[in-house]
Amino acid sequence: MADSDSEQQTDVSPPESSEEDHQMRRRRRGLLRMYYGVDDSVQLQQDNPLDIDKAGFKADMFMEKMLKETSLNNLYKQEERMKKEIQELDSNMQYLVYENHSKFIKASETIREMKDDFQHLEDDMGTLGARMDDITTSSNSINSALEDRKKEISKLCGVNYLLKKLQFLFELPTRLTKCMEMGFYSQAVRTYSRARRVLEQYQHMPSFHGIQGDCSVIVTKLISSLKKRMDDERSSTATVVETVDLLLELDQPPSDLCQQFLANSRRQLERDLSVVEQGEKPHEIQNEDGETTVTMGIQEYVHLVCNSFFANVSLVIQTFHDLFIKRHKSSGDQQVAEEAQKTLTEFVQSLMDSCLETVMERLKNEATHQESVALIRALDKVSGKLQAMDNLLPSVNFSEKGYQLVTIVTGTHTECHSQRLQQSFTDTLMTVRHDLVTSKGSQQGGPTLRDHSATLYASIKSGLESALTNLKEFVECNVSFSERSDFRRKFCVGNIRAGVVCTFINFVLETCKSFSVGSSGDHTSGAYPPPLILILSKLVHEMERSTISYLVSYGDEKFPPHPDGPLLATPTNELLRHAKEISQALLNHYVKVQGQVISQMIRKSVETRDWLNTIEPRNIRSVMKRVVEEITLIDQQVGTLYEDGLKKEQGSESSRHTFSYQSKGYQYTSATLDSSLLSNIQKLFFERIEVFGTVQFDKPSIITGIIKIFLKALLECVRLRTFGKFGLQQMQVDCHYLQVYLWKFVSDEQLVRMLLEQVMASTIERCVEHTLMGQSVVELICERN
């Protein structure tokens, strides 16, 4: 019974310990999953015992679940499906086995061959090791056999090397002499440099002292020959560099070589500079006078300057730096290097200033031409070369000199464009003036005043646009100097906007203004044709209205000082104010000149006639017809340029064709009132008329101003004459004729009537017999003429 109890206890205890171990392992796994962040759900999916495709699949649990939950029919279907899957897996496995069978066989054969090859290789390596041991043994035996003679052989080799050196020293004078005779100076210097230390060290010994003396004499001659070759003008730069290097190796004073090198370089560079100053080359054609020469093109000239003078200067700078400055710096002699740098800077500065002055004159001469592209390319090449030279010698500041050259030349170029624009406008203006003088406007079928005005306007607008388009290349071309902000600002604002656009506009305004000044006698004598003054007044008026603003904004748009920045507008208030003043002055002057021309005719006609003893009037005087014709012609000319303005509404058509001095309702006789009282009464009825007032920019205002001037002149002429009966009647007929034909030209008909009434009142005041002609008779005479 006890045995059975013990057996029962023995059977039960192991499961309890395994269960505890299982619980412990599960706890540890849980802690590890928590530490590493492993998802339990994923692990459960991988260990799912019911999933047939998982590694933890358990068939018993799967069958038990299927029997409990699935019907018989579904079990049959599941069985059929699994049979098909098993068959498919078997067929796939057979296919893989058949497919890879040949590969497996080939791999096996390859492995077998590799085993055989390694077996042979191991045998060869064993044989090689044995032979290497034999070689080592033989080498050790030979070394031990020759150990006693090794020191003796080394000693003999040293003696042989020393004897060769002594032989080289004894043969040194001969070798130097031979190199001198054959012109191998560099080989002679290298040969002497190899032996110089030994000779100097052992010069106290008699044998070496003799060799030293002979070599010194030869080296002195060598130095003299090298200096002569250095001074030879036919020596190239490479030869000079080599010579200086050899002389420095022979311990010649660097300061003397520096001065001699710069002196020789100066001669070469001055020859190049003379070619640059001439700027000419021989032509292939010979004539009887000898060799002809032609001036180089600007591109060829710049190529000559950059590839000849500038290139040689760069070579001199680089060579001088390598030979003197760099060598002194490497040896620690900083002060001597700075002195050499200063000497080189002064040397280059003087030559470059002379060259750049010559180049600037040539480029300024090229800048007088209208073409900009060739000039831009030349400036870009020169400035680019100078900027590259700035890296060789920054103390000279080549880039700043190039920038100054560019700014001066571009300033000259833009100034020439401005002068060319001014000359073109002046020529066009003189052509228009000549046409007006020869053809008298449109009277002979020539161009009208509108055509002339359009010609002047086109010369301003098209000329300036063409010039700005040409100058646009300076900021559009891909050149180095145009990318500098200071150049672009100076060029766009200073040279273009102020130097070309505003200067040209001011020139046009001042030129037009000159036609509005001067004595009236000069103008009436034909110095300036009145139609030209009228055209200029219209031109400046249009400029003030739109052209100036357009041209300035066009220049601002084409030449912005900052390509990506805001467009800074040029102020135009002063230009517009100036243009307004000049246009008004020109128009006032035109009215004054035309009024004085007609006034002169009237004055002569009044002064040359005997108004006291004239005959009874039967016709209108020819001068009055001439006045009406002139006014009609002026009206046509003004109408081609200026539009019709507003006119004041006046009386009926019949009143315009009727002029009667008694229409005011009063009649004056010498018997009723004396002359002073009559004059004072007249002034009460007449308004004050401003004769030389400001004229508006329309046709009626212009014609009215001219009519006021010559009617006022007629009034003043009448006040200086004495009239008889028929003289008064003749003036009455003339005034009626003027009233009939002048009312349609003026803006205020009442003004003409008032002036004519003043003329009649003044005539009556100075008439000895106040008898007027009947109004019907006056009208009949005017209609008949």
pLDDT over threshold 50, residue 242: yes
Which range scores top for mean pLDDT: 75-84, 166-175, 205-214, 650-659?
Answer: 75-84
Give Cα 520 to chain centroid, integer Å. Answer: 49
pLDDT over threshold 90, residue 507: yes
pLDDT in tens, 544-565: 988 898 998 888 888 887 766 5
First vs last C-alpha separation in the chain: 179
pLDDT in tens, 717-754: 988 888 888 888 888 898 988 888 888 888 777 888 88
Q: Mean per-residue pLDDT for 498-511?
A: 91
Is residue 54 a contact partner of residue 47, using CB atoms and an 8 Å limit? yes
Q: Mean per-residue pLDDT for 532-538?
A: 91
Looking at 135-139, 381-385, 473-477, which range is the least confident one? 473-477
pLDDT in tens, 36-66: 555 555 454 556 777 777 767 777 888 888 8
Element (H, E) at 287: strand 280-287
Split at pLDDT 50, 70, 90, the class of 697 is confident
Which range scores top for mean pLDDT: 14-18, 31-35, 261-265, 722-726?
Answer: 722-726
pLDDT over threshold 60, residue 266: yes
Is residue 740 a contact partner of residue 656, using CB atoms and an 8 Å limit? yes
Six token digits for residue 252? 């010649």
> What pLDDT, on the 0 to 100 scale, is given for residue 163?
67
pLDDT over threshold 50, residue 606: yes
3-state class (DSSP) for residue 692: coil
Looking at 41-45, 248-252, 492-496, which range is the least confident one? 41-45
Residue 734: which residues within 8 A CB-CB, separation 6 or more? Answer: 620, 621, 624
pLDDT over threshold 80, residue 197: no
DSSP string of 424-456? Answer: HHHHHHHHHHHHHHHHTTTTTS---HHHHHHHH
> What pLDDT, on the 0 to 100 scale, is given for residue 326?
79
Q: Mean per-residue pLDDT for 63-77?
A: 82
Is residue 734 a contact partner of residue 715, using CB atoms and an 8 Å limit? no
Query: Which comes out higher in pLDDT, residue 242 or 610?
Result: 610
Give the separation between CA 761 and CA 715, rounded to whole angstroms: 9
Query: Which comes out higher in pLDDT, residue 733 or 5?
Result: 733
Six token digits for residue 40? 């339990």
> What pLDDT, on the 0 to 100 scale, is given for residue 286?
45
Q: Mean per-residue pLDDT for 198-213?
A: 67
Neighbours of 750 (CB within 10 A): 13
Give the separation between CA 294 and CA 285, rounded to whole angstroms: 11
Six token digits for residue 196? 């110089």
Element (H, E) at 502: none
Average per-residue pLDDT for the chain: 78
Place of tokens 């190796």: 249
414-450 in b/e burial notation, b at 16+ Cβ within 10 A?
bbbbbebbbebbeebbeebbebbeeeebbeeeebbbe
Six token digits for residue 223? 């130095």
Alpha carbon separation from 403 to 263, 367, 383, 486, 487 (Å, rounded)? 29, 16, 7, 10, 8
Closest by alpha carbon to 434, among 447, 419, 421, 445? 447
Six token digits for residue 264? 């020789």
pLDDT over threshold 70, residue 518: no
> What pLDDT, on the 0 to 100 scale, is given for residue 33?
62
pLDDT over threshold 80, residue 601: yes
**Which residues partner with 293 through β-bridges?**
282
Neighbours of 98 (CB within 10 A): 9
Closest by alpha carbon to 180, among 212, 226, 213? 226
Residue 723 is given by DSSP the state B
Element (H, E) at 165: helix 72-170
Name the pTM for this structure: 0.65
Residue 586: which residues within 8 A CB-CB, separation 6 or more? Answer: 512, 513, 515, 516, 533, 536, 537, 540
pLDDT over threshold 60, residue 584: yes
> What pLDDT, on the 0 to 100 scale, is given for residue 660?
52
Query: Which comes out higher in pLDDT, residue 267 or 1?
Result: 267
Is residue 477 a contact partner of residue 488, using CB atoms and an 8 Å limit? no
> What pLDDT, on the 0 to 100 scale, is given for residue 529?
86
Give the separation between CA 749 and CA 734, rounded to whole angstroms: 17
pLDDT over threshold 90, residue 696: no
Alpha carbon separation from 343 to 129, 346, 397, 519 (Å, rounded)? 74, 5, 15, 68
Closest by alpha carbon to 221, among 171, 173, 262? 173
Split at pLDDT 50, 70, 90, the class of 237 is low
> What pLDDT, on the 0 to 100 scale, is given for residue 20?
61
pLDDT in tens, 397-420: 888 888 899 899 999 999 999 999
3-state class (DSSP) for residue 159: helix
Closest by alpha carbon to 318, among 344, 286, 353, 285? 344
Cβ-in-10-Å burial (0-12, 13-18, 19+) of 759 comes to buried
pLDDT in tens, 268-300: 888 888 888 886 543 344 444 554 445 678 888
Share of the chain above pLDDT 90, in %: 7
Is residue 336 a contact partner of residue 411, using CB atoms and an 8 Å limit? no
Cβ-in-10-Å burial (0-12, 13-18, 19+) of 767 comes to buried
One-letter amino acid of 726 = F
CA angle 311, 314, 320 (to 5 degrees): 140
Six token digits for residue 10? 């023995």
Closest by alpha carbon to 734, among 623, 631, 630? 623
3-state class (DSSP) for residue 280: strand
Q: Mean per-residue pLDDT for 579-597?
A: 90
Give the separation between CA 619 and CA 448, rounded to whole angstroms: 35
